[in-house]
Chain A
Amino acid sequence: MANQQTDSLAESSTTPPIITTKPVVTASARPRTFLGRNLQEWLPTIVGIASILVVGGLWELAGQLKMIDSFVLSWPSKFIPELFKIIGSGQLATDLAVSGLEFLGGFALSLLGIPLGLAIGKWRVLEWILDPYIAVMNALPLVALVPLLVVMFGLGIASKIAIIFLLAFFTIVISTAAGVKTTDPSLIKAARSFGGSEFQIFQKVIIPSSVPFIIAGLRLAVGKALIGVVIGELLASTQGIGYSLRSAAELFRTANFFANLLVLAIFAVFFNWVLTVLEKRLAPWKD
């Protein structure tokens, strides 16, 4: 057996190799960069923008060719000027101020879900006590509470903050608690072995390991909070983007409706982007 191996080794060194390797040709010695990023890394962004331009162009074309009923739908050359109009008139600024305040107020309050989630994940008794309520609040379509919240807090900002808080809070509680509970037991074991106290284990193992879950919760919560903003304003308000959307639709000002929708989309994408950056900074080990 050993002999055979040496034989075949000897053989392979005398017979010419079957595969002749060609020298690898590299595109360029130094990778070209733009704004500190490799040109390769820009490719997804470039393709994404091209895609928007193409689809937007086709949309515009369909509009120009009268394939779209301007009564129910709009197209870029109609709603983009409309966007500039609401910027110029100051309507957008007032809407954004109101909706933004509601969003930030409700979302900031819902961050209280992080400490509560940590506590629930840590103390099982607390989980047993609170679980029924959290389960109900998570399963219930909370927007059903909007009429009640309007009765309680009025037509103004407060009722919107309340619904945003409710929507975002329980989402954050649930994912934070899940983060605590999925902490790798062997990391806890290691910290204990090296002399960590219960408090140190919580501070130095459980919290950092929950960070990706907390951020995932925040991401979901942003989506829910935006739903809260819009639903709250659609149902009962006198100001804000949701209100503008409703009045545009009621007055059949389709282009104006689309302009406001575009603002909302930019808003949502922006907050998601913020959280993506945050995640990369705080949890670089998760991909």
Chain B
Amino acid sequence: MEPNIQLKDISLVYMTRNGERVDAITNLSADIYPGEFVSIVGPSGCGKSTLIQLIDGLLKPTTGTVTVNNRRVTGPSPDRAVVFQDFALMPWRDVNRNVLLGPELRGKTGAFRQKALDTLRMVGLRGFERKFPYQLSGGMKQRAAIARALTNEPEILLMDEPFAAVDAQMREIMQEELIRIWQATGKTVLFITHSIDEAIYMSTRVLLMSARPGRIIEELKIDLPYPRTLEVKNSPRYFEYRSHVWDHLKNEVHKVYDTQAS
């Protein structure tokens, strides 16, 4: 099978305003296949959000190439949608108009009205169409951002810590819902999370990133059946995966901690 997303030896250097270079990503390569649910776990500041933007086409790699469906990425396209870490909802638009942003920018608002209502129902925001972001809780804003990405009907969903602001119960519901959508639609999902449990629970594969500059240091195929019931979560296999990921991550987190301390 051809990979859906191909990252070939990409690096990204930020140049700050005072002329400093920040090596966010160095020599990162990865292939992501159609229909996969891939989680990326890595210490804070290792370049995860940068990676999402590279795949979306918001950033161009300093070196290397990003290829989606055999086409080199030169900019954003409707076959990819991002759920941004900071939601990035327009404060002057109500929930409905925020969710319809993608279709509106493509001049297709009318055709997507029903889709928007459906996705809003799915994320539990029906009845909040007329509310503005400042009237929503953090978790509701995050769900609105997810609805905005889904309404655009992307083939590839790029999610940057999408459940960070939702409470534990809502998180579980949304995890299950996302798995359901993923299984029903066959979308490719790239999912960034800080939670090792979430990564293992959700994904078919987990990629571990090193401390900045980010590389993929470990790749773990999660061979557990869906739906991942409580039974699966309590299986010895699950715990093996968990301690494996944790061991690798610990080293990287220590690196970040030590450089920051010195």
Interface residues in chain A, defined as those with a beta carbon under 8 Å from any beta carbon in chain B = 184, 186-187, 189-197, 200, 204-205, 208-209, 211, 283-285
Residues on the B chain within 8 Å of A205, using CB: 90
Residues on the B chain within 8 Å of A186, using CB: 84, 86, 88
Using A187-B88, A204-B104, A209-B91 as known contacts, list a sample of 20 further A-B pairs with CB atoms less than 8 Å apart, ordered by residue number in A: A186-B88, A187-B90, A189-B88, A190-B90, A191-B101, A193-B56, A193-B58, A193-B76, A193-B82, A194-B105, A194-B152, A195-B76, A195-B78, A195-B106, A196-B105, A200-B105, A204-B105, A283-B92, A284-B132, A285-B134
- By the criterion CB–CB under 8 Å, are A193 and B90 in contact? no
Residues on the B chain within 8 Å of A196, using CB: 105
B123 contacts partner chain A, Cβ-Cβ < 8 Å: no
Chain A's closest residue to B92 (CB) is: A208
- Contact check: which of B86, B102, B132, B134 meets A194 at CB < 8 Å? B102
B77 contacts partner chain A, Cβ-Cβ < 8 Å: yes
CA distance A45 to B133 in the complex (A): 30
Residues on the A chain within 8 Å of B38, using CB: none
Contacts A187-B88, A189-B84, A208-B90 given; does A285 touch B76 at CB 8 Å: no
B54 contacts partner chain A, Cβ-Cβ < 8 Å: no
Minimal beta-carbon separation of A203 from chain B (angstroms)? 10
Interface residues in chain B, defined as those with a beta carbon under 8 Å from any beta carbon in chain A = 53, 56-58, 76-78, 81-82, 84, 86, 88-92, 101-102, 104-106, 132-134, 148, 152
Residues on the B chain within 8 Å of A190, using CB: 82, 84, 88-90, 101
CA distance A254 to B102 in the complex (A): 65
- By the criterion CB–CB under 8 Å, are B88 and A209 in contact? no
CA distance A61 to B119 in the complex (A): 68
Minimal beta-carbon separation of B240 from chain A (angstroms)? 22
CA distance A195 to B104 in the complex (A): 10
CA distance A217 to B148 in the complex (A): 33
- By the criterion CB–CB under 8 Å, are A211 and B92 in contact? yes
Residues on the A chain within 8 Å of B134, using CB: 284-285
Residues on the B chain within 8 Å of A191, using CB: 101, 105
Interface SS of chain B = loop
Chain B's closest residue to A282 (CB) is: B92
CA distance A192 to B58 in the complex (A): 8
- By the criterion CB–CB under 8 Å, are B133 and A285 in contact? yes
Contacts A193-B82, A284-B132 given; does A209 touch B92 at CB 8 Å: yes
Residues on the A chain within 8 Å of B82, using CB: 190, 193
Residues on the B chain within 8 Å of A187, using CB: 88, 90
Chain A's closest residue to B77 (CB) is: A195
Minimal beta-carbon separation of A279 from chain B (angstroms)? 12
Minimal beta-carbon separation of B120 from chain A (angstroms)? 17
CA distance A191 to B152 in the complex (A): 13
- By the criterion CB–CB under 8 Å, are A195 and B105 in contact? yes
Chain B's closest residue to A207 (CB) is: B92
Chain B's closest residue to A285 (CB) is: B91
Residues on the B chain within 8 Å of A200, using CB: 105
Chain A's closest residue to B88 (CB) is: A190
Residues on the B chain within 8 Å of A195, using CB: 76-78, 102, 105-106
CA distance A187 to B86 in the complex (A): 10
- By the criterion CB–CB under 8 Å, are B132 and A285 in contact? yes
Chain B's closest residue to A283 (CB) is: B92
Minimal beta-carbon separation of A262 from chain B (angstroms)? 38
CA distance A141 to B82 in the complex (A): 50
Contacts A186-B86, A285-B134 given; does A194 touch B91 at CB 8 Å: no
CA distance A186 to B132 in the complex (A): 18
Can you list 11 residue pairs at the A/B interface with Cβ under 8 Å? A184-B88, A186-B88, A190-B88, A190-B101, A192-B58, A193-B84, A194-B101, A195-B77, A197-B105, A209-B92, A285-B134
Residues on the B chain within 8 Å of A194, using CB: 76, 81, 101-102, 105, 148, 152
Residues on the A chain within 8 Å of B90, using CB: 187, 190, 204-205, 208-209
CA distance A133 to B188 in the complex (A): 54
- Contact check: which of A184, A189, A204, A208 meets B58 at CB < 8 Å? A189
CA distance A204 to B107 in the complex (A): 13
CA distance A210 to B152 in the complex (A): 27
Minimal beta-carbon separation of A84 from chain B (angstroms)? 46
Residues on the B chain within 8 Å of A193, using CB: 56-58, 76, 81-82, 84
Residues on the B chain within 8 Å of A184, using CB: 88
- By the criterion CB–CB under 8 Å, are B133 and A192 in contact? no
Minimal beta-carbon separation of B209 from chain A (angstroms)? 21
Q: Which of A190, A193, A205, A211 has the most CB of B within 10 A?
A: A193
Minimal beta-carbon separation of A201 from chain B (angstroms)? 9
Minimal beta-carbon separation of A274 from chain B (angstroms)? 20
Q: Which of A189, A191, A209, A284 has the most CB of B within 10 A?
A: A189
CA distance A191 to B93 in the complex (A): 13
CA distance A208 to B133 in the complex (A): 15
Chain A's closest residue to B106 (CB) is: A195
CA distance A204 to B78 in the complex (A): 18
